[in-house]
Amino acid sequence: SALTFFAVMLQVYDLTRSPFAVGLLGVAQAVPTLAVGLLGGPLTDALDRRKLVLVTSGCLAVVSVALAAQAFAGVGQVWLLYLLVSVQFGLSALDRPARGTFTPALLPANQVTAALALDRISFQITLTAGPALAGLIAAAPHLGLRACYLLDALSFAAALYGVGRLPKLRPTGSRPRLGPRAVAEGIRFIRHSQVLAGAFLADLSATIFALPLALFPAINAERFGGDPRTLGLFTTAIGVGGLASAVLSGPLGRIARPGRAMLVTVAIWGAAFAGFAVAPAVLWLTLGLLAVAGAADTFTVVFRIGIVQSVTTEALRGRLLAADYVVGAGGSQLGNLWSGALGSLTTPVISAFSGGLLTVVAVGAIGLVLPAFRLYRRQPAAVRVADPASSAAAET
C-alpha cells in the first residue's frame, strides 16, 4: 500500500506538474472516507468483523489490480486515478475500523496499549521501507511506477491469508440497527466527552494544517532537482523517526495525563514541519526535521488511540473507531488539499510553514477551551464508561 500511495502521488504530479492536482487527491480520498466511514461504523458493530475485513480486503485487491492495469496500459488519465483512489478509500473506511477492533478483542485490557505500540512499529516499518523502496523502483529504467502498483496487488494474497486465519470475531452485546440513528448515537457519545472531542480536534489540527505531503514533489523538485529517490526519502524520514519513537514507546502506558502529552506532541509535529519548510537545501537537515515530525506523530497516534480505546464502550467500539479513522484519514486528506491549494496560490514553502505554525496555535487553543482533555487521567484497565451519559466520569 505504501508503494501505491507513492506511485499515485508521483504519477499525478508527472501528468500535471501541479501541486494543486496532487492536493486534489485529498478530495478523492476525503469524500468517500467521510461518506462511508461514519455510516460504516454500525456495520462493524453488527457483523462478524473478520468476515467484513475479508470482503473489504478482497475488494481492495481488485482496486490494486486496476491501478496496475492502468499503469501497464499507459492510460495516463488523471480522472481515472482519482476515481480508483476514491473507491480504494471508501473501502478502507470500512476495512480499517473493523481491523481496529481486533486488538481489544484478542488481548486482555492491560496489554492493549503495548499492542497498539507494536502495531505502530509495524506501520512505521512500512512507512520507512515503503517510500524508499518505491523511490528506487520508480527510478529504475525497466521497473517504474508499474512495478509499484503490481507489487501492491500481489501482496494482498498475504493480507487475505492473515485475516482468514483469525477466529470469528462477532461483536458482543446488543447489535445496533443499521442507519443514521446508530451513527448519531456514536456522535452523541463523542459530543458529551471533552476527552474524545479534544483528542480528535488535536489530531485534526495536526493533519489538516501540518501534513504537506502534496507539497513534497514540488519542494523536492525545487530543492533537490526532482530525483524520485530523494522524494522517497522524504516520507522514509518520517517513517524512521516514527519507528524510533515506536520502539521506545513502552513508557507511554505509564503517562498519567495522555491528553496533555498529546497536545505537546502535536505542537512538536507542527514546529518540525514549519522548520522543514524554511530549511536550506541540505538533505540531512531536511530529513532530520521530517524524522522529528514522524517521532512526534507516533506518540500522538498511540495517545489518541489509547484514549479512544479507554473511554469507549464495547457496544460503541466499531462506531467510535470508525470516527477515529475518519478523523485520522479524513484529516490527512483534507490537509493534502489545503496544503496543495495554498501552495499553488502562494508557494510550497509558505504553505508548509504557515500550516506548521497554525498547528502550534491550534493545540494551545484546544488546551484552553477543553480543560477536561488537558487534565484527563488515564483510567485503570478494568474501568470502562458504561454509557454516553456517564462519560463525564472519564473527564475527572
Nearest to 357 by CA among 231, 247, 271: 271
CA 243, 249, 251 angle in degrees (round to 5)? 170
Largest CA distance in the chain: 61
3-class DSSP assignment, residue 165: coil
Q: What integer pLDDT is reported at residue 290 of this predicted model?
A: 94
Nearest to 309 by CA among 97, 127, 145, 138: 97
Q: What integer pLDDT is reported at residue 174 of this predicted model?
A: 57
Task: Please tell me what DSSP assigns to residue 390.
Answer: G
Task: Please tell me what DSSP assigns to residue 394.
Answer: G
All three cell numbers of 380: 485503570
Q: How many CB atoms lie within 10 A of CB 315?
A: 19
What is the rounded CA–CA span in Å between residue 49 and residue 312? Answer: 17
Cβ–Cβ under 8 Å, residues 189 and 391: yes
DSSP 205-256: HHHHHS--GGGHHHHHHHHHTT-HHHHHHHHHHHHHHHHHHHHT-GGGGG-S
Q: What integer pLDDT is reported at residue 175 of this predicted model?
A: 59
> What average pLDDT does the structure give for the chain?
83
Q: What integer pLDDT is reported at residue 316 of this predicted model?
A: 73
Q: What integer pLDDT is reported at residue 32 of this predicted model?
A: 86
Q: What integer pLDDT is reported at residue 391 of this predicted model?
A: 35
Q: What integer pLDDT is reported at residue 256 of this predicted model?
A: 80
All three cell numbers of 135: 523511490
Q: What integer pLDDT is reported at residue 394 of this predicted model?
A: 34
Give pLDDT < 70 ranges for the chain: 171-180, 182-183, 253, 314-315, 379-396
Q: What integer pLDDT is reported at residue 291 of this predicted model?
A: 93
